[in-house]
Structure formats: C-alpha cells, structure tokens
Amino acid sequence: MSQSNIHAKIRSNPKFAELVGKRTRFAIALSLIVLVPYYSYMLLVSLQPQLFAGKISDGSVITIGWPIAALIVVVGWLLTGVYVNRANGEFDRLTEEVLKEARK
C-alpha cells in the first residue's frame, strides 16, 4: 500500500480526529494552567510586591511568597506527570489503533 494511501486512511479515520482534538485541547489546557498563574505571578511580584508580604502563620517570619513560588515549581512538575500519564496511556492507545487500522 502506498504511503499516501496510508495517510488518507489515517486522515479519514474519526479516531485520528479524536486523538488530535483531545490531545491538543489537553496540551493547551495544561499550558494555560502553567502559564496563566506564572505570568500573573511575574506581574504581581513586579507591580504589587507587598501582596507577598503576608506571613504563612501568626508569629512566623516566613512570607507567603516562598510557598507560592515553591508551589509553582511543584505544580508545574506534577502537571508534566498528569500529561505523561494520559499521553502514554489513552493517547498512545488511540495512536496505535489509528496506525493499525491504516495499515490493514
């Protein structure tokens, strides 16, 4: 079977559209979950630094800025785990099905 035939088959397979749609939406959603808080954080540390001066508890000297920054790092990492988990499971299964059906 020719290469372009396989491409046409993949393209016409509704599972391909499903795969691309789901994965793209997922990737954009996760990117926004990382970027929106991150850029808000960057703007606020620049324009409203006093917002980060509150203490984590009464009598503590630690400001909320420290756990917030740590949280951005930790959540960023956890989200990579969320993405890999779904991509290596659901998305890869769909991809395999699409490829298998195209080669039939």
Partner 1 sequence: MKRSITALVAGTLLAASFAALAGPGAIEGVEKQPVNISAIAMFLVFVVATLGITKWAAGKTKSTADFYTAGGGITGFQNGLAIAGDYMSAATLLGLTSMVYFKGYDGFIYAVCFFIGWPIILFLIAERLRNLGKFTFADIASYRLDQNRIRTFAAIGSLTVVCFYLIVQMVGAGQLIQLLFGLEYNTAVTVVGILMMVYVTFGGMTATTWVQIIKACLLLGGGISLMLLTLSQFGWSFENLFVKAIESHKAGEKLMIPGSLMADPISALSLSLGLLFGTAGLPHIMMRFFTVPNAKEARKSVFYATGFIGLFFLVTMVLGAAAISIVGTNPAFFEGGQVGGKLIGGGNMPVMHLTKAVGGDIFLGFLSAVAFATILAVVSGLALAGASAISHDLYARVIKKGTATSEQELKVTRMASVGLGIAAIVLGIAFKDQNVLFLVALAFGVASSVNFPVLILSMYWKGLTTRGALWGGIAGLVSSVGLVILSPTVWVKIFGNKAAIFPYDHPAIVSMSLAFFVTWLLSVTDKSERAKREAAAFEEQYIRAQTGLGAEGAHAH
Residue numbers of the site for partner 1 (CB under 8 A)? Answer: 3-4, 6-7, 10-11, 16, 19-21, 23-25, 27-28, 30-32, 34-35, 38-39, 41-43, 45-47, 49-50, 52-53, 60-63, 65-66, 69-70, 72-74, 76-77, 79-81, 83-84, 87-88, 92, 95, 98-99, 102
Smallest distance from partner 1 to CB 104, Å: 14
Q: 63: number of CA atoms within 13 Å, CB side?
A: 9
Cβ atoms 64, 56 nearer than 8 A: yes
User: With respect to partner 1, which residue has the nearer C-beta, 14 or 41?
Assistant: 41
Smallest distance from partner 1 to CB 103, Å: 9
Q: 8: number of CA atoms within 13 Å, CB side?
A: 5
Smallest distance from partner 1 to CB 29, Å: 9
Say which residues have a Cβ less than 8 Å from residue 17's Cβ, sequence separation at least 6: none
Q: Which two tokens stand for residue 75?
A: 């959540």
